Structure formats: C-alpha cells, structure tokens
Structure 1
Amino acid sequence: MPTQRFRITPTSRGALFRAKRWFYSIFYTKELPADVKEGNKKAWVDLASKIVEEVNKRGATDKPARLIISYESGPRGEFIPLSATMELMEIRPLETFTIYLSKEEEIKKIKADIIELVKRAKELGANIEELKEIIV
C-alpha cells in the first residue's frame, strides 16, 4: 500500500493544497483515459471533502499540519484512497532568551527610544515632571 507523506505546512489548508497538487500531477494526467480521470477526480473530491469536514469540525483550519494519504493504484492508474491522516501541530516557543552583544549599544538604543518618547509626550502635551516621577 503506497503512502504519501507531505511536509508540515503552516496551515491545514496548505496541507490539503499540497495534496491536491500531488494528486493532479499523478492521477489526473493526459496519459490516463478520460473515464479513469473522472473516477479519480470523484475519489479525490470525496476524500478532500471529508478531510475539510473533519478539520472544520475541530476548528483547525489555521493550525500547522501534516497530511498522510494511504492509497492503492489500480491497473489503469485508478486512485483508490484508503485513509488520510491529518497531524495537527502546535507552534509554541520552548524557551525565550535575549543575547546582548554590547551593553553600550543597548544603552544607546534605550536612550534614543526615551528621547523619541519624550518628544512624542511633548507633542501630546504631557507634563514632563510627571513623567520623571514615573522613571525614578
């Protein structure tokens, strides 16, 4: 039983799009007889609609995913899907850290940011003395 395992995609819609491109490049080519092509297309549409239905049921259209399709290929090039497995992923940071290359550069950046904030505060009519109390 052949299995097509696709790369992880940023969304489950993207996974289905990759699968669609794979299907049409293999099972809907000019070399196949018209009746086989139409049967393949019907099998694909049925499979894709079931995948979409399940993904929508889980509210996972925008989650990262990988699609795996198990299928058989008939003697005339027929596409016979056996199963489809959608692996839904979750992207989250394992750890967050910051690397400071130069304290002096970081201090210059902070000073420049503060100068910009003070200018903006003056434009808005904020009391600078109140701002000093917040800083200290």
Structure 2
Amino acid sequence: MMKAAEENGFELAALMLPKHVKQAVNTGGSNIVMMAGLNEEKKKAAWEFIKFMTGTEQNLYASKVTGYLPTRYSSIESDERKKLHAEQPMYKVAVDQLQYAQPRPMVPGYNEIEKKVYPQEVERLILDPSIDTKQGLDRAVERSNALIKNK
C-alpha cells in the first residue's frame, strides 16, 4: 500500500482508533497451530516450524514486510523495530494501541459486521465527501445493532 500510495501521489497515515465511551481496540490475525494426532516425527517438525515462525528474527521480518503487529515483545523492543518506527511512524500505531486491547466480541453477527458492514461504511465515508464521519459511524452502529438483534 505504501508503494502504491507513493507512486500515485497519496500520503498514507495511521491513527489511533477513535474513542467513544471507552478507548478500546481488538486484535487478531493469523494463528499457528499444531494439529492433534500427529506422529512423533511430524510433531517435532511442526514444533521446529512454530519456533522458527515465532522467533524474534522471523517476527521482525514478517511484521516489517506485511505491516502486521509484531507478536513478540522482543521484536517490538528491538533496535531494528525502533529504527522502523522512526522511519515509518505509522508502524508504531498498532503497538501503541495495545494498551487498549480488548477481546473481540463473540456474538452472533460479529463476523458479518467485521467483514461486511464496517468495511462498507468506511468505504462510503472515503468515497462520498458529503457524509461526515459521525454520520458514517452512526450508520455502521445502526446496521451492526440490527444484525445483532436479528441473530
């Protein structure tokens, strides 16, 4: 995204999520698991892979390349990560938001809200300058509440 923005004359920014009643942000993403029922050889191989993928060096690389939040304090606190934050301050926003981390609400309709309602309303805000932020967010809340009530 950063390269595409630069090539097309756009400036990207990242900001803390806005606060309403309470400052909160949920986290989530990919998971690494070892399946049950593996033979000893596959268990050992899976464990080696998990250790590799979750190690500080790999975590630093993956978070830098993808923009995803580092999953290890050792990565966040490393000199390399501090240098990245100085060069690209928007990479630090997700780290700063961790102090407000809350579990995702696991209620019926949540996946549809996260994958459909919220992105659609954000897209409307971006594409339609006549809609102010409060109107867009109020509509997202209204649609979300309707989904939750009807599940």
TM-score bin (small chain): under 0.3
Q: Radius of gyration: which is bigger? A: 1
Provide the TM-score with structure 2 as the length reference. 0.22
Provide the TM-score with structure 1 as the length reference. 0.24
- Which has more strand, going by share of residues? 1
State the structure with bigger RCO (CA 8 A, min sep 6), 1 or 2: 1
